Amino acid sequence: MYRATVWSQAGMRIVVMDSMSQVEDDDAGAIVVAASNGGQESGRFGAAARCGFVLLNDAGVGKDDAGIAGLAILNEAGIPAAAVGHHTAEISNGLDMWEHGVISYVNTAAQAAGVAPGALARPTLIAFAHARIVETST
Protein backbone atom coordinates (compact mmCIF):
# COMPACT_ATOMS: atom_id res chain seq x y z
CA MET A 1 0.00 0.00 0.00
CA TYR A 2 1.15 3.49 -0.83
CA ARG A 3 1.37 6.17 1.86
CA ALA A 4 3.58 9.22 1.66
CA THR A 5 3.57 12.78 2.87
CA VAL A 6 3.65 14.73 -0.35
CA TRP A 7 4.68 18.03 1.23
CA SER A 8 3.71 20.86 3.49
CA GLN A 9 1.80 23.62 1.75
CA ALA A 10 1.06 26.90 3.57
CA GLY A 11 1.71 25.13 6.84
CA MET A 12 -0.64 22.19 6.15
CA ARG A 13 0.64 18.66 5.62
CA ILE A 14 -0.66 16.93 2.53
CA VAL A 15 -0.74 13.15 2.90
CA VAL A 16 -1.50 10.82 0.00
CA MET A 17 -2.45 7.21 0.69
CA ASP A 18 -4.24 4.30 -0.95
CA SER A 19 -6.75 3.68 1.84
CA MET A 20 -8.30 5.74 4.63
CA SER A 21 -7.47 2.82 6.92
CA GLN A 22 -3.87 4.12 6.72
CA VAL A 23 -4.77 7.45 8.36
CA GLU A 24 -2.87 8.10 11.59
CA ASP A 25 -3.23 10.39 14.59
CA ASP A 26 -0.38 12.48 13.16
CA ASP A 27 -2.68 13.32 10.24
CA ALA A 28 -4.85 15.56 12.43
CA GLY A 29 -5.30 18.84 10.57
CA ALA A 30 -3.72 17.47 7.38
CA ILE A 31 -5.18 17.34 3.90
CA VAL A 32 -5.63 13.61 3.32
CA VAL A 33 -6.04 12.14 -0.16
CA ALA A 34 -7.14 8.50 -0.06
CA ALA A 35 -8.13 6.28 -2.98
CA SER A 36 -10.30 3.95 -0.91
CA ASN A 37 -14.04 4.07 -1.51
CA GLY A 38 -15.82 7.05 -0.03
CA GLY A 39 -18.02 5.01 2.28
CA GLN A 40 -19.04 5.23 5.92
CA GLU A 41 -15.88 3.52 7.13
CA SER A 42 -13.69 6.09 5.37
CA GLY A 43 -15.77 8.88 6.88
CA ARG A 44 -15.30 7.41 10.36
CA PHE A 45 -11.52 7.09 9.86
CA GLY A 46 -11.19 10.70 8.69
CA ALA A 47 -13.36 12.07 11.49
CA ALA A 48 -11.54 10.06 14.16
CA ALA A 49 -8.16 11.32 12.91
CA ARG A 50 -9.48 14.91 12.85
CA CYS A 51 -8.19 15.51 9.33
CA GLY A 52 -8.23 19.06 7.98
CA PHE A 53 -9.69 17.99 4.63
CA VAL A 54 -10.45 14.54 3.20
CA LEU A 55 -10.47 13.73 -0.52
CA LEU A 56 -11.82 10.27 -1.44
CA ASN A 57 -12.61 8.50 -4.66
CA ASP A 58 -16.27 8.37 -5.65
CA ALA A 59 -16.67 4.64 -6.18
CA GLY A 60 -19.47 4.65 -3.63
CA VAL A 61 -20.38 8.33 -3.44
CA GLY A 62 -23.57 9.27 -5.20
CA LYS A 63 -24.20 5.63 -6.10
CA ASP A 64 -25.07 4.27 -2.68
CA ASP A 65 -26.00 5.42 0.79
CA ALA A 66 -22.61 4.47 2.28
CA GLY A 67 -20.74 6.97 0.12
CA ILE A 68 -23.09 9.81 0.96
CA ALA A 69 -22.99 8.76 4.63
CA GLY A 70 -19.16 8.96 4.60
CA LEU A 71 -19.24 12.56 3.41
CA ALA A 72 -22.00 13.30 5.95
CA ILE A 73 -19.93 11.87 8.84
CA LEU A 74 -17.06 14.13 7.88
CA ASN A 75 -19.42 17.07 7.53
CA GLU A 76 -20.88 16.44 11.02
CA ALA A 77 -17.31 16.48 12.36
CA GLY A 78 -16.78 19.85 10.67
CA ILE A 79 -14.29 18.37 8.23
CA PRO A 80 -14.50 19.52 4.62
CA ALA A 81 -14.59 16.52 2.30
CA ALA A 82 -14.92 15.85 -1.39
CA ALA A 83 -14.83 12.94 -3.80
CA VAL A 84 -12.97 12.56 -7.08
CA GLY A 85 -14.80 11.04 -10.03
CA HIS A 86 -13.43 7.94 -11.74
CA HIS A 87 -14.86 9.17 -15.02
CA THR A 88 -12.32 12.02 -15.09
CA ALA A 89 -9.14 9.95 -14.85
CA GLU A 90 -8.01 6.41 -14.32
CA ILE A 91 -7.86 6.50 -10.54
CA SER A 92 -5.97 3.53 -9.18
CA ASN A 93 -4.30 5.10 -6.15
CA GLY A 94 -4.10 8.26 -4.07
CA LEU A 95 -1.34 9.76 -6.19
CA ASP A 96 -3.54 9.47 -9.31
CA MET A 97 -6.28 11.31 -7.43
CA TRP A 98 -3.89 14.07 -6.37
CA GLU A 99 -2.35 14.51 -9.82
CA HIS A 100 -5.34 13.92 -12.13
CA GLY A 101 -8.54 13.96 -10.09
CA VAL A 102 -11.57 16.13 -10.74
CA ILE A 103 -13.89 16.76 -7.80
CA SER A 104 -17.33 15.31 -8.37
CA TYR A 105 -19.04 15.66 -4.95
CA VAL A 106 -18.50 17.95 -1.95
CA ASN A 107 -19.99 18.04 1.53
CA THR A 108 -21.42 21.22 3.04
CA ALA A 109 -18.19 22.02 4.94
CA ALA A 110 -16.15 21.81 1.71
CA GLN A 111 -18.71 23.89 -0.16
CA ALA A 112 -18.51 26.55 2.57
CA ALA A 113 -14.73 26.56 2.09
CA GLY A 114 -15.20 27.30 -1.61
CA VAL A 115 -14.62 23.80 -2.98
CA ALA A 116 -16.90 22.95 -5.91
CA PRO A 117 -17.57 20.02 -8.21
CA GLY A 118 -15.65 20.19 -11.47
CA ALA A 119 -12.48 21.60 -9.87
CA LEU A 120 -9.11 19.92 -10.28
CA ALA A 121 -8.06 18.25 -7.03
CA ARG A 122 -4.45 19.38 -6.72
CA PRO A 123 -4.83 23.15 -7.29
CA THR A 124 -8.06 23.20 -5.27
CA LEU A 125 -6.44 21.60 -2.23
CA ILE A 126 -3.39 23.85 -2.49
CA ALA A 127 -5.73 26.87 -2.59
CA PHE A 128 -7.63 25.41 0.41
CA ALA A 129 -4.35 25.17 2.38
CA HIS A 130 -3.54 28.80 1.62
CA ALA A 131 -7.06 29.99 2.48
CA ARG A 132 -6.88 28.25 5.89
CA ILE A 133 -3.79 30.32 6.76
CA VAL A 134 -5.68 33.51 5.93
CA GLU A 135 -8.73 32.41 7.93
CA THR A 136 -6.73 31.53 11.03
CA SER A 137 -4.49 34.59 10.94
CA THR A 138 -7.28 37.19 10.97
* Residues 40-73: tens digit of each pLDDT: 889 999 999 999 999 998 777 766 777 888 999 9
pLDDT at 27 over 70: yes
SS3 of 68, please? helix
pLDDT at 28 over 70: yes
pLDDT at 22 over 80: yes
Give the total number of structural domains in the chain: 1
Q: What is the pLDDT of residue 96?
A: 85
Relative to beta strand 81-84, strand 103-106 is: antiparallel
pLDDT at 137 over 60: no
- The pLDDT tens digits for 70-126 are 999 999 999 999 998 766 556 778 888 888 889 989 999 999 999 999 999 999 999
Say if residues 130 and 11 touch (Cβ distance below 8 Å): no
pTM score? 0.89
Per-residue confidence band for 8, with pLDDT thresholds at 50, 70 and 90? confident
Say if residues 55 and 70 touch (Cβ distance below 8 Å): no
Instruction: Report the alpha-carbon distance of residue 112 to residue 30 in Å, rounded.
Output: 18
Q: Which domain holds residue 117?
A: 3-137
